[in-house]
Amino acid sequence: MAVATTTETGARPSWSGRRPSIPAWTGTVPFLAYVVVFLLWPTGIVVVDSLKHPNGNWALSNITELGNPLVRGYFIGSFKLCLLSSALGAVLGAILAYAVASGNPDGVVRRLYLASSGVLAQFGGVTLAFAFLVLIGPVGLLFHASWYFEFPWGIGLIYTYFEIPLMVLVFLPAIDGLKVQWREASENLGASAWQYWRYVGAPLLAPAFLGGALLLFANALSAFATIQAWENQIAYTVPQQISTALSSEVGLSNVNVADLLALGMVIMVAIVMTGYALLQRRAARWLR
Amino acid sequence: MTSSPLTRTPEGAARNAVEVRMEGLSRHYGAVVALDRLDLTLQPGELVALLGPSGCGKTTTLRLLAGLEDADTGHITVGGKDITRLSAAKRDMGMVFQAYSLFPHMTVRQNVAFGLRLRRVGAAQRDKRALEMLDLVGLSTQADRYPHQISGGQQQRVALARALAIEPQVLLLDEPLSALDAKVRAQLRDEIRRIQLEVGITTLFVTHDQEEALAIADRVGVMREGRIEQLAPPTEVYSRPATSFVAEFVGLSNRLTGEVRGGEVTVRGRTLPLVESNVPDGQVVALVRPEAVTLASHTAPEPGPLVGTVIAVTFLGATSRVTVDLGDITILAQLSTSDAAALPAGSRVALTIRPDPVLVSADAASAGPAAEEEA
Amino acid sequence: MAAVTALGETPAAESASHPRGMQSRRRRRLNLFRYVVFTVFGLFFVLPLLAMARFSLEGAKLGTWSLTAWRQIASYQGTGIPPLLSAIEITLELAVITCVVTLALLVPTMIWIRLRVQWLARTMEFLCLLPLTIPAIVLVVGLGRIYNRIQHYSLSALMLFWVYVILALPYAYRALAAGLSAIDVTTLSEAARSLGASWFTVIVRVIAPNMRQAILNALLLTFALVLGEFTIAYLLLYTNLQVELYSISRNTPNAGVLFSTSFAALLFAFALLLILSYAGRRRRGRG
């Protein structure tokens, strides 16, 4: 780390004279190295191995396995669940986000809801499954929901529970980005509340909303803990099937099944996240 | 909505323009009084500028007129109709905000046509009118650009076009130039005035920049703490300020102690007429404009009440401001730069004060260095 | 323009002392909407938690109250699985380590990129978003190979922190980026550098303190994440808090200790967030 040897008023700070020049980007090496080793490499392994035979030869035809009806069934199951929970989560989350955003920016309510959202978005999983079990399960304290163990209804509700806070976290900045001048200008030009939302508010928020919904979808797709704790015996979704494939492996026979399913997941989620990134860019241009 | 010709004759303007009358308007936020029983009437077709420091209530007045806020008490009448209870959307006024008011997801053309779209004007008609308005503000070549692709000055022109497109009865401008560069500001200011005169619309213009207010208004209302201190044409506000606040807010003033006797005030040996004739005799503080002070080089060393040394010369372009030390106080004079060039720092000078009528105030306590304009 | 109608209000004279115009009416409607929304959502979020709390206080006979489940947290030991307390300890330690490493990795890098290597900003954003894209389960499949080779059975669960940092990246990055964008990093660093500060000082003593709220947010999110993590630990055959709870639930589905522990963990996270939200608040002066 260089220390500036002179006090330069107004001039740009610079390295002291005699140092050999090390390019600045080397400062990011620790981070980059870490990500490569623990994220990119494992993912790479998955992608590569899924295209190989158990004995190590290339087998690009493995991809056609993804069309297998059994595998398709798992993807469709995942899809149904994620569609349900992300649609619900997006709409409800947007409403809640609007309620939070339209209040005092520094107030208690906003801080509370924001912070809770941060926690609740993480607390899916085992804990949540227990909580709902106790609330509306067979010996439910509130009532017994007969549909609780039906797929995708019971689990869909639980997913929605942690999808809503995530939506609030993601969508709130967009609502904050709606400038008050736009509302006032449209009012001044004669727009009613409905007309404002229809011509100005909704179009401006649409990219962020869709982006948020996509994020929720990807998030639900990846969820494993919740559904595992909800119902252990039956595998409805792809993550569960991967787990089964992994845990039932004797030797290496099922390794590639898990890889394949994982590959399928990566593709699906990658598509979704690309859409998300594009929409975010559009939203950012307008709402920043 | 009938389409009317853009350029109206003076009679046409007088015929179509409306009077805006605000009576007894009050507004408070908790314990803070933003407006205190304000009365203000705008004549048909006139441009009134509300001028004052931040917090004086000028923006509140505008927003009450626009309907963006509700008055606690009072009435607003436009063209004879009481609109106090009317929602902002129904008030038929055009407003230009300080910044950020263009819809970012619409092109310039769509922005300008928005108000017409709300009024269900047909697409072809809308488009024609939008282009007319863009022509008026000189931006028809930018019609299909997005707000983020044009400059700040251009954005404000579009905002003006958008406000006028709906043919409102009143035009409201909330510090429209404050966010712009100095050069653009001056240009746009004159543009706005030109367009306002051409269209002949009654206009309320809010600003904290006195130069703007003096340059374009038919009448200037200087506000302070929720009240109008003076409402008069610009020349009058400048040369015959009604209160010391106005005198000090608009332009610079030298505060000099003096004595009133028989309707005149004597300041440092010079006798000057008064703005108000019926000031009682006694000690006062007289407010003398820097441009009323003239300087001449004076090499003789005898001191006098109007003899001093130049401390500093501030170059302002065409004019310069000279600070002179008279021994007990400092005084500001404003000269043309060529005259000031002959009087560098350190020169001995003799002062004369032009016999313009001066305003005096009774608080003799605060005589001294010249008052600066409010930032 | 339509003549002004009173819209059901009494004549203007009566409304002299209170603003009864459109704006205040609209604000009142908005507030009503907000209260309804907050109540409904509040109930939805709180009910399951309350159910858990209630169940955790359930006694031997239905309808009785008892603190047994809470006392058991310290002593519970199921057959064939490690004691609950050790799982709690491990998880807490993991959380702390993960927080520290995540911050140490992200904060300097983000500041450095912002100051000196701006062209890498997009790349970093993408890399930090990637863990959201790549499901934990996929990571496990890939990591399993690596971990297998290192004979991980003998390693403590603390080795999980390497992966947890990756999982935390998207959330921590978001929180920190929000904080960074709110301050003028360039000006601050140039001022510090012109006064003779080293880059280390700039990062640690000039910029980071100005990001206090953001750092605390990132901390909170990371901590919550580790407390709630299940998938990777489970599939890599480690025992952390969530895995332990899951194992207990498979053996003894209605063990009260499940609910008391879960609820305690939640309470802990909430307490943390409350403390952090107050600690991060800047002292506000008057006016």
Q: Do B279 and B348 have their domain in common? A: yes
Q: Which of A246-255, B245-254, B327-336, C246-255 has the lowest mean pLDDT?
A: A246-255
Q: Do B268 and B234 have their domain in common? A: no
Of the candidates B209, B239, B269, which is a domain's last residue? B239
**Cβ atoms C208, A19 nearer than 8 A:** no
Q: What is the pLDDT of residue A55?
A: 66
Domains in chain A with CATH codes: 68-287 (1.10.3720.10)
**Cβ atoms B49, B176 nearer than 8 A:** no
Q: Counting one residue from A and one from B, how many pairs have CB atoms under 8 Å apart?
A: 71
Whether the pLDDT of residue A89 is over 90: the answer is: yes
* Residue count of chain A: 288
Q: Do B229 and B321 have their domain in common? A: no
- Kindly list the residues from chain A whose CB atom is less than 8 angstroms away from the CB atom of residue B162: 185, 189
* Residue from C61, C100, C133, C270 whose CB has the most chain A CBs within 10 Å, to mutate: C133
**Is A191's CB within 8 Å of B66's CB?**
no
**Residue C280 distance to chain A (closest CA, Å):** 11
- pLDDT band with cut points at 50, 70 and 90 for residue B256: confident
For C38-52, how does the pLDDT look when each residue is reduced to its tens digit (9 = 90+)? 899 988 888 888 888
Higher local confidence (pLDDT), B128 or C144: B128
User: What distance in Å separates the CA atoms of residue B168 and residue B171, rounded to the nearest whole number?
Assistant: 7
* Residue from B29, B86, B93 whose CB has the most chain C CBs within 10 Å, to mutate: B86
Q: Which of A6-20, A71-85, C166-180, C216-230 has the lowest mean pLDDT?
A: A6-20
Q: Do B298 and B153 have their domain in common? A: no
- pLDDT band with cut points at 50, 70 and 90 for residue A5: very low
* Mean pLDDT calculated for residue range B23-46: 91
Q: Which of A227-236, B36-45, B157-166, C243-252 has the lowest mean pLDDT?
A: A227-236
**Is B73's CB within 8 Å of C16's CB?**
yes
Higher local confidence (pLDDT), C4 or B354: B354
Domains in chain C with CATH codes: 84-279 (1.10.3720.10)
* Mean pLDDT calculated for residue range A177-191: 91
Q: What is the pLDDT of residue A258?
A: 72
Check whether the bond before C83 is cis (ω within 30° of 0).
no
Global pTM value: 0.78
Whether the pLDDT of residue B316 is over 80: the answer is: yes
Q: What is the pLDDT of residue C102?
A: 94
Whether the pLDDT of residue A66 is over 70: the answer is: no
Whether the pLDDT of residue A260 is over 60: the answer is: yes
Determine contact: A186 vs chain B, CB below 8 A. yes
Q: Do B149 and B210 have their domain in common? A: yes
Q: What is the pLDDT of residue C8?
A: 32
* Mean pLDDT calculated for residue range B137-150: 91
Determine contact: C40 vs chain A, CB below 8 A. no
Burial of C92 (0-12, 13-18, 19+ CB in 10 A): middle
**Is B166's CB within 8 Å of A195's CB?**
no
Instruction: Collapse the DSSP code of B201 into the 3-class scheme (helix H, G, I; strand E, B; otherwise coil) and give the result.
Output: coil
Determine contact: B23 vs chain C, CB below 8 A. no
Residue B3 lies in a domain: no
Task: Find the domain containing B191 and state its range.
Answer: 10-239
Largest CA distance in chain C: 86
- ipTM of the modeled complex: 0.78
**Is A224's CB within 8 Å of C105's CB?**
no
**Residue A201 distance to chain B (closest CA, Å):** 10
Residue B63 lies in a domain: yes
**Is B72's CB within 8 Å of C9's CB?**
no
Whether the pLDDT of residue C219 is over 70: the answer is: yes
**Cβ atoms B66, B36 nearer than 8 A:** no
* Residue from B69, B97, B129, B148 whose CB has the most chain A CBs within 10 Å, to mutate: B97
- Can you list the positions of beta strands (E) in chain C? none
Residue B370 lies in a domain: no
**Cβ atoms B134, B116 nearer than 8 A:** no
For residue A198, the 8-state DSSP code is: I
User: What distance in Å separates the CA atoms of residue A224 and residue A6, rounded to the nearest whole number?
Assistant: 57
Task: Show which of residues 104-143 on chain B sit within 8 Å of chain A, judged by CB atoms.
Answer: 104-105, 114-115, 117-119
Burial of B227 (0-12, 13-18, 19+ CB in 10 A): middle
**Residue A129 distance to chain C (closest CA, Å):** 10
Determine contact: B37 vs chain C, CB below 8 A. no
Whether the pLDDT of residue B61 is over 80: the answer is: yes
Q: Do B143 and B211 have their domain in common? A: yes
**Residue B46 distance to chain C (closest CA, Å):** 22
Whether the pLDDT of residue B373 is over 70: the answer is: no
Q: What is the pLDDT of residue C14?
A: 33
Burial of A51 (0-12, 13-18, 19+ CB in 10 A): middle
* Mean pLDDT calculated for residue range A14-28: 66
Both structure tokens of B227: 């009240």
* Residue from A189, A196, A200 whose CB has the most chain B CBs within 10 Å, to mutate: A189
User: What distance in Å separates the CA atoms of residue A219 and residue A240, rounded to the nearest whole number?
Assistant: 15
Q: What is the pLDDT of residue C53?
A: 82
Residue B341 lies in a domain: yes
**Is B85's CB within 8 Å of C6's CB?**
yes
| Residue whose structure tokens are 């712009």 | B180
Q: Which amino acid is at A6?
A: T
For residue C13, the 8-state DSSP code is: G
* Residue from A28, A242, A248 whose CB has the most chain C CBs within 10 Å, to mutate: A28
- Kindly list the residues from chain B whose CB atom is less than 8 angstroms away from the CB atom of residue A191: 89, 118
Q: Can you say how many angstroms the Cα of residue B36 is from the centroid of all Cα atoms in its chain? A: 20
Whether the pLDDT of residue B15 is over 60: the answer is: no
Q: Do B88 and B127 have their domain in common? A: yes
User: What distance in Å separates the CA atoms of residue B142 and residue B315, rounded to the nearest whole number?
Assistant: 39
- Kindly list the residues from chain A whose CB atom is less than 8 angstroms away from the CB atom of residue B115: 189-190
Determine contact: B85 vs chain C, CB below 8 A. yes
- pLDDT band with cut points at 50, 70 and 90 for residue B268: confident
* Mean pLDDT calculated for residue range B159-177: 93
Whether the pLDDT of residue A140 is over 80: the answer is: no
- Kindly list the residues from chain B whose CB atom is less than 8 angstroms away from the CB atom of residue C4: 81-86
Determine contact: A285 vs chain B, CB below 8 A. yes
* Residue count of chain B: 375
Q: What is the pLDDT of residue A259?
A: 74
Whether the pLDDT of residue B199 is over 80: the answer is: yes
Q: Do B156 and B180 have their domain in common? A: yes
- CATH code at position B160: 3.40.50.300
Whether the pLDDT of residue C259 is over 60: the answer is: yes
- pLDDT band with cut points at 50, 70 and 90 for residue B14: very low
Of the candidates B239, B267, B283, which is a domain's last residue? B239
Residue B139 lies in a domain: yes
Residue B119 lies in a domain: yes
**Residue C166 distance to chain A (closest CA, Å):** 7
* Mean pLDDT calculated for residue range C256-275: 80
* Mean pLDDT calculated for residue range C64-76: 74
Q: What is the pLDDT of residue A53?
A: 65
Number of domains in chain B: 2
For C134-187, how does the pLDDT look when each residue is reduced to its tens digit (9 = 90+)? 777 778 777 777 666 665 555 676 778 888 999 999 889 988 988 888 888 888
Which among C9, C17, C22 has CB closest to B87?
C22
Q: Do B224 and B287 have their domain in common? A: no
* Mean pLDDT calculated for residue range B158-171: 93
- CATH code at position B290: 2.40.50.100
Residue B244 lies in a domain: no
**Is A28's CB within 8 Å of C120's CB?**
yes
**Is B90's CB within 8 Å of C24's CB?**
no
Kindly identify which residue of chain C lies nearest to residue A218, measuring between CA atoms.
Answer: C133
Q: Do B259 and B234 have their domain in common? A: no
**Is C22's CB within 8 Å of B67's CB?**
yes
**Is C22's CB within 8 Å of B70's CB?**
yes
Q: What is the pLDDT of residue C152?
A: 52
**Is A99's CB within 8 Å of C228's CB?**
no
Q: What is the pLDDT of residue C12?
A: 35
What counts of helices (H) and strands (E) characterise chain C?
12, 0
Whether the pLDDT of residue A17 is over 70: the answer is: no
Q: Do B129 and B164 have their domain in common? A: yes
- Kindly list the residues from chain A whose CB atom is less than 8 angstroms away from the CB atom of residue C249: 126, 130, 229
- pLDDT band with cut points at 50, 70 and 90 for residue C127: confident
Q: Which of B353-357, C205-209, C214-218, C278-282 has the lowest mean pLDDT?
A: C278-282
Q: Do B211 and B348 have their domain in common? A: no
Higher local confidence (pLDDT), A238 or C243: C243
Q: Can you say how many angstroms the Cα of residue C6 is from the centroid of all Cα atoms in its chain? A: 51
Residue B264 lies in a domain: yes
Which residues are CB-contacts of B131 (< 8 A; sequence separation ≥ 6)? B109, B140, B143
Of the candidates B192, B213, B239, which is a domain's last residue? B239
